[in-house]
Amino acid sequence: MQNLYEVLQVPTNATPLEIKAAYKRLAKQYHPDCNPNNPEAEEKFKQINQAYQILSDEIKKYEYDLYYYLRQQSVQGQNTTSRTNTSYQSSYSTHYTYQQSNYYQTYHSQYTKRQPSPHPIETISLRLRRRIEIGTIIGAIIFVFFAILLRDIMNYHTAKSHLNKAKTYWQKGEVLTAMVLISKSLEFYTKNPDTYSLRAEIYMKQYYNYIHAIADLDLAVQLSDEPNPDLLFQRGSCYMKLFEFHRAIQDFSAAIAINQHNGDYYFYRAIAKMQQQNIHKDDFCRDFQSAEKLGVTEAHQYILTHCTHCNTK
């Protein structure tokens, strides 16, 4: 078989640009259009095309170089195999095109015990090696990203399931079970405001622990995507129980700024204002009147008791 590098008239260490330039030069020289009625030129042109198809492809070139290297080593080291080499060379010349890898496997199986071959990674070009490394890194990053995403999704749904069960047990009056399920829910996902608001409700209504309730309501307010007036109202009610009326008024006012159609907000702000000595009676009386208009019946008694002589217009 003729050496493909000799066909293209380039050295074995020629660069891809040198191989391409040699191909263009020889293809133009032996092209059938430039050599009409010349069978030798036509055959030479076919050989040039075949050589370029192999040497211009990194994988095919690597397989050919490896085959050629093994062939040279075998010829030099084992004279007794010349007949086998001649037979194999003839077969290779007939079927080589697009089947280099199959011939590599056949040849390697015949001579692997006689002559050690170079490690394939040593003959892969630097550019191809970098592509493999970059592809491996990108694949690893994508795998880690989707693994983390899948873990977060599973944790979220597990936490939500525990929270729903906790709500059911709280409604049934099974407080301890509800609190245990809330703790389990927080082990899987800590950014759900509903989890903290439910635990705050239990602290308020079952344990009368308003300090812990306020801490949970603070987290629920911070984690809410939109301002939630009910959370602010609950926190203001806790401040009322702790006699921190100034903070209670701030939360009730914030709740009213979001929702002006809830009479309870006005009613409890009026009660908190009554405890403040620096607030005029007209101020909390207006809140009582607003609460009464919004359907809070208890506000009417406060108006009769405290606001008879107020100027609330």
pLDDT of residue 162: 94
pLDDT of residue 112: 47
Average pLDDT for residues 115-128, to the nearest whole number?
59
Check: CB of residue 159 under 8 Å from CB of residue 198.
no
How far, in Å, CA of 135 to CA of 137, rounded?
Answer: 5
Radius of gyration of the chain (CA): 43
Of residues 102 and 172, the one with the higher pLDDT is 172
- Asked if the structure places residue 306 within a domain, the reply is yes
- Out of 226, 259, 278, pick the residue that ends a domain: 226
**Same structural domain, 65 and 131:** no
CA angle, corner 197, sides to 195 and 203, nearest 5? 105
Of residues 253 and 2, the one with the higher pLDDT is 253
Does residue 256 have a pLDDT over 80? Answer: yes
pLDDT of residue 66: 78
Q: For residue 56, count other CB atoms closer than 10 A to its CB.
A: 14
pLDDT of residue 127: 78
pLDDT of residue 80: 47
Average pLDDT for residues 238-250, to the nearest whole number?
93
**Same structural domain, 8 and 114:** yes
> What CATH number is given to the structural domain containing 160?
1.25.40.10
- Asked if the structure places residue 218 within a domain, the reply is yes
pLDDT of residue 89: 47
Q: How confident is the model at residue 3 (pLDDT cuts 50, 70, 90)?
A: confident
What are the pLDDT digits (tens) for 162-207? 999 999 999 999 998 999 999 999 999 999 999 999 999 999 999 9
Q: Which residues in 101-110 are b (16+ Cβ under 10 Å) and which e?
A: eebbeebeee
- Asked if the structure places residue 156 within a domain, the reply is yes
**Same structural domain, 136 and 110:** no
> What CATH number is given to the structural domain containing 108?
1.10.287.110
Domains held by the chain: number: 3
Q: How confident is the model at residue 94 (pLDDT cuts 50, 70, 90)?
A: very low
What's the mean per-residue pLDDT of the chain?
83
**Same structural domain, 286 and 266:** yes
**Same structural domain, 149 and 217:** yes
Give the sign of the dihedral formed by CA 184, CA 187, CA 193, CA 197: positive
What are the pLDDT digits (tens) for 288-302? 999 999 999 999 888
What are the pLDDT digits (tens) for 219-231? 999 999 999 999 9
Q: Does the predicted TM-score (pTM) go above 0.85?
A: no
Does residue 81 have a pLDDT over 50? Answer: no
Of residues 1 and 171, the one with the higher pLDDT is 171
Which residues have CB under 8 Å from 101's CB, separation 6+?
63
**Same structural domain, 201 and 309:** no
What are the pLDDT digits (tens) for 51-76? 899 999 888 888 888 777 777 777 66
Does residue 233 have a pLDDT over 90? Answer: yes
Q: How confident is the model at residue 87 (pLDDT cuts 50, 70, 90)?
A: very low
**Same structural domain, 42 and 99:** yes
Of all residues in the chain, the percent with pLDDT exceeding 70 is 82
**Same structural domain, 9 and 120:** yes
Average pLDDT for residues 252-281, to the nearest whole number?
90
The lowest-confidence range among 1-5, 43-47, 107-111 is: 107-111
pLDDT of residue 97: 45
How far, in Å, CA of 54 to CA of 23, rounded?
Answer: 12
Average pLDDT for residues 113-126, to the nearest whole number?
55
Which residues have CB under 8 Å from 266's CB, separation 6+?
252, 256, 287, 288, 290, 291, 294, 296, 299
- Asked if the structure places residue 238 within a domain, the reply is no
Q: Can you give the residue range of the structural domain that contains 62?
A: 4-124
Q: Which residues in 153-164 are b (16+ Cβ under 10 Å) and which e?
A: eeeeeebbebbe
Average pLDDT for residues 268-272, to the nearest whole number?
93
Average pLDDT for residues 12-41, to the nearest whole number?
90
pLDDT of residue 93: 47
Average pLDDT for residues 251-261, to the nearest whole number?
95
